[in-house]
Amino acid sequence: MPSGEVEVVEARIEIARPELGLVEWFVNSDAGLEQGFTLSERPTAATHATKPGPTSDRARRDRQTADLVLELAVSGARASLRGESVRLASDAGRAFEYGKLAVVDARGVALAARFEVPSADRIRLVVDDAGATYPIVIDPLLESTDDGQISADLASAFMGSSVSSAGDVNGDGFDDVIVGARNYDGGSSGIGAAFVFLGSAAGLGDGSPANAHAQLSSNQGVPFLTPLFGASVAAAGDVNGDGYGDVIVGSSAYAPVSGGSGAAFVFLGSETGIADGSPATAAARIVIHDFDESGLGTSVASAGDVNGDGFDDVIVGAPGYNAVIINEGAAFVYLGSAAGIADATTATAHARLSSDQGGFIGGSVMGQSVASAGDVNADGYDDVIVGAPLYTAGQGGEGAAFVFLGSASGIPNGTPATAHAQLESDQVNASLGFSVSSAGDVNGDGYADVVVGAPGYDRLQTNSNEGEAFVFHGSSTGLTDGNPLTADGTVLDPMFLPGPPGAAFGSSVASAGDLNGDGFGDLIVGARSYFPNGLLVDEGAFIVVSGGASGIHPFNRYRLVESNQAGARMGNSVASAGDVDGDGFDDLIVGAELWDGGQSDEGAAFVYHGGAFWFDQSEFPLDRRSRFEADQVDAELGWSVASAGDVNGDGYGDVIVGAPAFDAGEVDEGAAFLFLGPVTLGLALEPATPVLTAHARFESNQIFARMGESVASAGDYNGDGYGDVVVGAPFYDFGPGDEGYAFLYLGSPAGMGNGDPDSAAVRFESVQSLARMGSMVASAGDVNGDGYGDVIVGAPFYDSGESDEGAAFVYHGGPPLSDRNPTSSNGRLESDQVSARMGASVGSAGDVNGDGYGDVIVGAPRFDFGFTDEGAAFVFLGSPTGIGNQTSVTAHARFVGNRTSAALGSRASVASAGDVNADGFDDVIIGAPDYDGAASRTGAAFLFEGSSTGLSNGSPETAATRFESSHALDHLGASVASAGDVNRDGYGDVVVGAPSESAINGQGAIYVLLGSSEGIPDGNAETTPRKYGLDVGGGSWGWSVASAGDVNGDGTGDLIAGAPTFESGDPTAETDEGAVFVLLQNWRGDPVLAQQRRGDASGIPVQAGGSAHAPDRFEVELLARSPRGRERAKLEIEVCPAGVSFGAVVCHERISPVWIDLGTSGAVLAETVTGLASNTSYAWRARIHYAEYSSTQVGIQPTVRIGPWFRLQGRAANGDIRTVPEPGVGLGLMTAIVLSYSFARRRRVA
C-alpha cells in the first residue's frame, strides 16, 4: 500500500491515500487509541470475503453483494479472535483489545461488521456494505486489556463462576490464583472443578485446564445432584502456619450422605504447590451436620486470624441452613492450627453465625456471602462479615450484612442481635449483603474497612436495579450500625458514573489490594448484568475505584472495564489476585462465567496486572496539577524550572523556578522562587498559588540582569547533607558589561532564606564582556568522586580563541567556599569553533560508563559538522581528578544534528535520561527544536544509551530512540529532561517539551516517554499515549521541563513544566505573566519519604550523589503503612555498585531482623547497610515486607506480602550515595569489592 500523505489536525493524525479513496486516521483519547478508516467510494480493487451462509459460487457470481474487507498486517504482537473483538498479545507480554467495531455510512446508518483473524499476523475488518451510501467510516478502538485469560475450552463449563487469589501455594514469591468452573465436566456430567494457576515473573499468561498447576474436582456427578463444586473458591490463608498458601473450595450441592446439603474442602500448599485433588484427598472436609439443602459452601473465605494464635481460620456460608428458624441461613467459622483444619461438620464449628429470621416462604439467606473483614478495630484480631441479602429490618428484602469481632477466644456463636455492627440498605428488595468483603484500608487510617454489595439497589429511580456498593470505615471502636446515609459515600456516583438500569452493580465486591502502589486499599465491584445504551445485553463489567486519604469519593480515580460480549456476565465474580508477577503491585482477577471463547458458555477469568498508572488515561487530569503564577505582567515565570533536591532534609522534594523578567524593585532584574515539598493538590487548579508565597525568593537587584533565566539543583555543594541551588543571571555584571553570573545558595534544616547576589554562598562570574555566563546552569553530579556536589555553568558567548565559541565551566564542590571564575574553574569545555555557542545548554549526563564518576553533557546549537548550524552536544567523562580542560575534539562523545539549522543542543535540550533500560548505565537525551522532520521545524529528541564503554559518537540516524513531531513549528525538543521513574517500574523515563505545539494557538505540550527493558521505542508526538497539554492557548508550555523529584513523598517521581507566556484566561489576568505546573504522578499517594542518611550514626541526611561519611555503610529509611490496616513489617534494601543493574549477584541485600508493629499510624523503618566497599558509588532501592499482625509468633512461618520498590526522590539513575575512602588511602585506589549475598525471592521470611 502507498505510504500516503500525513496531516495533523489538533489531536488527530490523518494519512491520506487519494489513489485508493482512503483516509486512515488516529485519535488518542481517554477511551483508547482509535484507528479509523474513511472510504470515499467502494474500492474497485477491494478484497472480498464470502458472507456467512451463502456458497462461494454465489459469492463469485454476485461480487456486488460481497462484503468489503480491509486486511491489516500485525507486527510486534499476535492476533487472536476473542468473542466480538481481537486480542493482541505483544511480544513484550502486554495485551490489547482491538474491538468496539462501529461502521456508519454517509446517512449515519450503522452497517453490520465483524472481525476475522485468518492468521496471527493478519486482521480483517469485514463490512456488509450492501446498499451503503459512501463515504463510510470504519472505526475500531484499540484499548489496553487483560494480562491473562483463563478459559475452560469446554462448552457450558462456566469457568469463572468464582475467582480468588490462592496466596503463594508453593512459596516461590509469586502469588497464585484459583478459578472455579461449577459445571466443568471431568468425565462425570457437571461435576464441577477448581483450577490453580501459578504466578511467575511474567504473571500468569493465558491458561486452561490443560496447563493448570492443579485441578481439584468433586468426583461426584449423576446419579447424585450436580454438586456445583467450584461455585465458590478462596484463599484460605495459611491454616497450618507453614508459610505456604492454602485454598478452600465450596461445593454447595455436594451430597456427603443425601442430596444437596453442600460441603467445603481445604487443600494445603507446599514447596511443590498443590497436587491434583478431590474431596477424598482434601486436608479438611467440612460437611453439614443434620440439614439437607442447606447450601453449605455457597460461599467460602479466609476468616483471617480471629483468635490471634498465628494460624489463619476459614468461614463457610450455608444460606439455606435451618438453625432455629427455617431457611434463616448461617455461616460457620473453623480455626486453623499447627495441624491445619481437621475434618468438621456444622456441629463442630468454632462459631455459628445465624440470622434468626426465616420462614417457609423465604428466609434471610444469611451466609450467601462471607468474608474476613480485616481488623476493623486494630486490636490484633481479625473480624468477619456475613451477608444476608433477603434480610428484612424495616423494608422487605432490603438485605443486611453483619460484622462479628475476633478476640483471644475467637468469635462466639452469634446472631444479628449480638453482631458488632449491622449494615442495611433501607430500601425494599435492594439485596444488600449479596456480596461482602474487606475493603482493605481505603483511607489509610490503620483500620480495615468493609465493602458491601447491593445489586438490587435503586440509584436513580424505583425498580431500576442499577445496584450499588457501600464502604464502611473501621475505627478504634470498630464499625457502627450503618446504612447508605452513613456509608463513605458510594462507590458509584450518578454524577460520574450513571449506570444503566438492571446493571446489578454490587453483584460481586472485593478488595483490589493496592493496585497502583499509593499505600491505600482499592476496591473492585462487579456488575454482571451491565449493558450500556441497551447494547450487548448482560455483557457485564467491573469498576475499580482507588482509595485515598479521605476514603472513597467521586473525585477518586476509577476505571470501568466491559466484556464487549453480549451475555458474558463479566463481573459475576471479582477478586484481588495478589501479586502474580512479583512487581510489588497487586493484581486483579475477574470472572465471566458465560464467556464464549472457542466454546459456547465455556466461561473465562481475566487477570489484570497492577501498576502505578493503572487508573490513568492518556491525558493528565486537571486536578493533578498544581499551578504557580507570577501575578505580574511579562514576568515570564516558568522560563526555567528544576528540582532543588531536598533543601531542608525532610524527605520531600523541593522545586525552584525562574522568572527572568520579574520586577522586584528593578526592571527585568529577574528572580527565582523556591517552593518546599510537600506539594499537594486540591480538587481543581484554581486558585493558582502566587510566587510571592514561595519559601524563598532570589533576586538580582540589578536592572535587566534576567536572574532566573536558568535554575538548578547544585546537589550538596558544601557536604552538610542539605540540597543547594544555583541560579543564573546571564546579563548581570560587576565590571565587564553583560558578563553574566551564577549564584549558589545553601540549604539547611530550616531550608533557605531570601537571597540576592550579596548573600550568595558562591558567585560564579565570567570576567568577560558579553559572555552571558549563567545562561544555563546545572548540577554536574560528582565528577571527581569526593562526595561533594559539583556544578556546571554555561557561557555561550564566551571567547577563548574564537569569537562566540562559547564555553562551559565545571566547579567542584567542597570547602572552602569562595567566589569562582573561569581561571579558578576545575574544567573549561570549549568548542574551538566560531559562533558555535557552546554552553547554551549544560547538564549532568549521569554516569554513562558506570565507573562511579559523574559525567556532563554540553550543547552547542550553532556548531557545524557538515551542516550549517546543525548543532551538537558533547559528553565529557568524570574521573578521580574530575573533567579538566577539554574541547569538542577531546570530548568522549559527539552528537550532531545532520540537518541544516536543526539547532541540536539548544537551551534546555541536553540532559541525563536516567537509566531507561535499567542496565546500570545512565543514558542521555538531546533535543533539536528546529529539526526538519515531516514538516518544517517540527523538532525532535534523540536518546543515546550508555554502556560499559560509555557512548559512541552519534546522530539522529544512530540514536537508540527518535521522538519526533509531524506538525510544523512545534519545536519539539526545546526542552528535555529525565522524568525520574514516574510509573515505578524501575526504568528511567524522560520528558520532552514542545512549546509551540499548536492544538490551541501554540498552547504547548509535554510528552512523557516510558523506559523499559528494551529502552524507549521510537515515537511520534501525535500518537504517544502520554501527551499533556494546557487548556488555554499561547502559554508556551514545555518551554522548560524537569523532574521535580518526589514533591509529595509518595515514592513516585513527579514532573514540573514551565509556560512563560501563560495567561490564565481571566480578564483581569496579567499578560504573559507565565506559570509553572507541578504534575503529581501518584496524585494522592501516601508518603513513604524514602531517605538515605550518613553511616556515622549522626542521622544527617545525604543528598543524591552525596557522601556516606563512612567507608562501608549508610542508613536507609522508609515510612511504612499497610494498605490493609494494622500489620507488621520489615524493610528490605538492595544496594548495587556503579555499573551494576539491580538483581545482580554482586548486589548487597539487607532485610530487617525483626518484625515491627505498624500500629494505626505507620512506622519509620530504618536499617544500616554494612559491608560495602570504600570509595565506591552505589545505587539502592527499598521495599516493605508485610505480615499479618498475629502471624509472626514463634514457630509460625508467616506468609509475607511484598510491596513495590522505592528509590530516593523517585530516581531511576545511578550514583545515589558514595562511601568514603578508608583512612590513609587515596581517592581512586580502592577496589570495588562488595560482600555479596544470594537474593531470595521467597516470601516465606522468618
**Cell triple for 92:** 513484550
Within a 13 Å sphere around the CA of 454, how many CA atoms are in the beta-carbon half?
32
Sign of CA dihedral 822, 824, 829, 831: positive
Sign of CA dihedral 950, 956, 959, 965: positive
Of 20-34, 154-168, 971-985, the least confident: 20-34
**Cell triple for 1088:** 513513604
Ordered by where they begin, the domains of the chain are: 5-144 (no CATH), 171-608 (2.130.10.130), 1091-1218 (2.60.40.10)
- pLDDT (tens digit, 9 = 90+) per residue, 487-507? 986 666 543 454 678 899 999
pLDDT tier, 29 (very low <50, low <70, confident <90, very high otherwise) = low
Within a 13 Å sphere around the CA of 691, how many CA atoms are in the beta-carbon half?
30
Decide if pLDDT at 1243 tops 50: no
- pLDDT (tens digit, 9 = 90+) per residue, 887-922? 999 999 999 999 999 999 999 999 999 999 999 999
What is the reported pLDDT for 83?
Answer: 66
**Cross-strand bridge partners of residue 914:** 923
Mean pLDDT of 19-29: 75
33 C-beta neighbours (distance < 10 Å), count: 18
What is the reported pLDDT for 1240?
Answer: 31
What is the reported pLDDT for 1009?
Answer: 95
What is the reported pLDDT for 78?
Answer: 76
Mean pLDDT of 27-31: 57
pLDDT tier, 684 (very low <50, low <70, confident <90, very high otherwise) = very low
- Helix (H) / strand (E) containing 79: strand 77-82
**Whether 194 contacts 216, CB under 8 Å:** yes
218 C-beta neighbours (distance < 10 Å), count: 29
173 C-beta neighbours (distance < 10 Å), count: 19
CA-closest candidate to residue 1012, choices 29, 94, 74: 94
pLDDT tier, 261 (very low <50, low <70, confident <90, very high otherwise) = confident
What is the reported pLDDT for 706?
Answer: 98
**Can you point out the beta strands (E) in 734-863?**
741-745, 762-765, 776-781, 790-795, 807-811, 827-830, 841-846, 855-860
d(CA 677, CA 648): 10
pLDDT tier, 612 (very low <50, low <70, confident <90, very high otherwise) = confident
What is the reported pLDDT for 1041?
Answer: 98
- pLDDT (tens digit, 9 = 90+) per residue, 83-118? 677 877 755 455 677 777 888 888 878 888 888 888
SS3 1161: coil
SS3 5: strand
Decide if pLDDT at 624 tops 70: no
The distance in angstroms from the start CA to the end CA of the chain is 62
Residue with the larger pLDDT of the pair 872 and 39: 872
Decide if pLDDT at 1212 tops 60: yes
Cα 1216 to Cα 299, 587, 1208, 1209, distances in angstroms: 50, 30, 7, 10
Residue with the larger pLDDT of the pair 1060 and 1029: 1060
Mean pLDDT of 274-294: 89
Of 544-553, 876-885, 1100-1109, the least confident: 544-553
Residue 1230 burial (10 A CB sphere; 0-12, 13-18, 19+)? middle
**Whether 515 contacts 586, CB under 8 Å:** yes
- pLDDT (tens digit, 9 = 90+) per residue, 149-171? 999 999 999 999 999 999 999 99
- Residue type present at position 356: D
pLDDT tier, 450 (very low <50, low <70, confident <90, very high otherwise) = very high
What proportion of the chain, given as a percentage, has pLDDT over 90?
Answer: 70
pLDDT tier, 939 (very low <50, low <70, confident <90, very high otherwise) = very high
- pLDDT (tens digit, 9 = 90+) per residue, 1090-1099? 999 999 999 9
- pLDDT (tens digit, 9 = 90+) per residue, 300-338? 999 999 999 999 999 999 999 987 777 789 999 999 999
Mean pLDDT of 1205-1229: 81
Residue with the larger pLDDT of the pair 67 and 817: 817
Mean pLDDT of 15-31: 74
381 C-beta neighbours (distance < 10 Å), count: 22
- Helix (H) / strand (E) containing 56: helix 56-61
What is the reported pLDDT for 1235?
Answer: 29
Q: What are phi and psi of 211, to 5 degrees?
A: -115, 20
Of 286-295, 505-514, 835-844, the least confident: 286-295
Mean pLDDT of 360-377: 89
Mean pLDDT of 1159-1178: 97
What is the reported pLDDT for 1223?
Answer: 73
Cα 1123 to Cα 453, 515, 586, distances in angstroms: 21, 10, 11
d(CA 1229, CA 851): 13
Decide if pLDDT at 442 tops 80: yes
What is the reported pLDDT for 553?
Answer: 62
SS3 181: strand
**Whether 1163 contacts 1156, CB under 8 Å:** yes
Decide if pLDDT at 1131 tops 90: yes
- Helix (H) / strand (E) containing 58: helix 56-61
- pLDDT (tens digit, 9 = 90+) per residue, 454-476? 999 998 767 788 999 999 999 99
Strand bridging mode 762-765 / 741-745: antiparallel
CA-closest candidate to residue 425, choices 478, 386, 388: 388
Of 60-69, 330-339, 477-486, the least confident: 60-69
- pLDDT (tens digit, 9 = 90+) per residue, 546-602? 898 888 865 556 788 898 899 999 999 999 999 999 999 999 999 999 999 889 999
What is the reported pLDDT for 102?
Answer: 84
**Whether 327 contacts 358, CB under 8 Å:** yes
Average pLDDT of every residue of the chain: 89
257 C-beta neighbours (distance < 10 Å), count: 9
What is the reported pLDDT for 493?
Answer: 52
Mean pLDDT of 209-215: 96
SS3 1235: coil
**Whether 577 contacts 588, CB under 8 Å:** yes
Highest mean pLDDT among 40-49, 67-76, 365-374: 365-374
SS3 60: helix
What is the reported pLDDT for 143?
Answer: 64
- pLDDT (tens digit, 9 = 90+) per residue, 803-860? 999 999 999 999 999 999 999 999 999 999 999 999 999 999 999 999 999 999 999 9
Residue with the larger pLDDT of the pair 802 and 76: 802
d(CA 181, CA 241): 29
Task: Please tell me whether the overall predicted TM-score, pTM, comes out greater than 0.85 for this model.
Answer: yes
**Grid cell 462487579 — which residue?**
526
**Grid cell 456445583 — which residue?**
228
d(CA 967, CA 953): 29
What is the reported pLDDT for 188?
Answer: 61
Decide if pLDDT at 1241 tops 60: no
What is the reported pLDDT for 256?
Answer: 73
